[in-house]
């Protein structure tokens, strides 16, 4: 996984898919994932992450919602693998209201 930039509008609720296959060594798999959303130093996970992240094979699904127009957030995924590795990736999320 690589850090990327994702844009959404404030009213949208979107399920994001992350493919961790290139981050896993042969024989390893995802054991668990913890997702957190940050606005600078403020943890906004409770208001911007809907439910828990889910795992299907090498893919992780996290649903994000809300956000303030013109604000940039960071979604952090911390993955624990069955071989004990910790993989951490961040996604830059920009909230932009388009139109009125």
Instruction: Look at residue 3 and tell me whether its pLDDT is greater than 90.
Output: no
Instruction: Look at residue 100 and tell me whether its pLDDT is greater than 90.
Output: no
User: Mean pLDDT throughout 5-14?
Assistant: 95
CB atoms within 10 A of CB 54: 12
Question: Model-level pTM?
Answer: 0.90
Instruction: Look at residue 1 and tell me whether its pLDDT is greater than 90.
Output: no
User: E strands along 1-100, which residues?
Assistant: 5-8, 13-19, 30-39, 42-43, 49-56, 59-65, 72-81, 86-95
- Please tell me the number of Cα atoms within 13 Å of 5 on its side-chain side: 6
Top CATH class of 5-95 equals: mainly beta
Instruction: Look at residue 39 and tell me whether its pLDDT is greater than 80.
Output: yes
Residues above pLDDT 90, as percent of the chain: 93
pLDDT of residue 2: 55
pLDDT of residue 60: 97
């Amino acid at each position: 996984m690589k850090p990327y930039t994702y844009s959404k509008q404030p009213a949208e609720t979107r399920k994001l898919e992350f493919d961790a296959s290139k981050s896993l060594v042969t024989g390893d798999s995802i054991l668990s994932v913890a997702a957190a959303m940050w606005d600078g130093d403020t943890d906004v996970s409770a208001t911007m992450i809907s439910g828990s992240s889910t795992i299907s094979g090498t893919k992780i699904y996290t649903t994000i919602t809300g956000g303030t127009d013109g604000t940039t957030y960071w979604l952090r995924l911390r993955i624990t693998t069955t071989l004990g590795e910790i993989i951490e990736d961040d996604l830059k999320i920009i909230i932009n209201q388009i139109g009125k």
